[in-house]
Amino acid sequence: MTEVLQHLIALLGLERIEQNLFRGQSQDLGWGRVFGGQVLGQALSAAVQTVPPERAVHSFHGYFMRPGAVDRPIVYDVDRIRDGGSFTTRRVVAIQNGEAIFSLSASFQIEEEGFEHQDEMPAVPGPEGLLSERDLALRVADKLPPGLREQACAERPIEVRPVEPMNPLKPDRRPPQRAVWYRASGPLPDDAGLHRYLLAYASDFNFMTTALMPHGVSWISPGMQVASLDHAMWFHRPFRMDEWILHVVESPSASGARGLARGRFYTQDGRLVASTAQEGLIRQRKPRPRD
Query: What residues act catalytically?
Result: 204, 228, 278
CB atoms within 10 A of CB 260: 20
H or E segment to which residue 284 belongs = strand 272-284
Quick check: helix, strand or coil at residue 276? Answer: strand
CB atoms within 10 A of CB 125: 12
Alpha helices in 64-191 (DSSP H): 133-139, 146-152
Quick check: helix, strand or coil at residue 206? Answer: coil
CB atoms within 10 A of CB 284: 14
Beta bridge partners of residue 18, listed in sequence order: 21
Q: Residue 134: phi, psi to the nearest 5?
A: -65, -45
224-235: strand order across its sheet: 15-18, 21-24, 74-83, 87-96, 99-110, 55-64, 224-235, 272-284, 258-267, 245-255, 177-184, 158-162
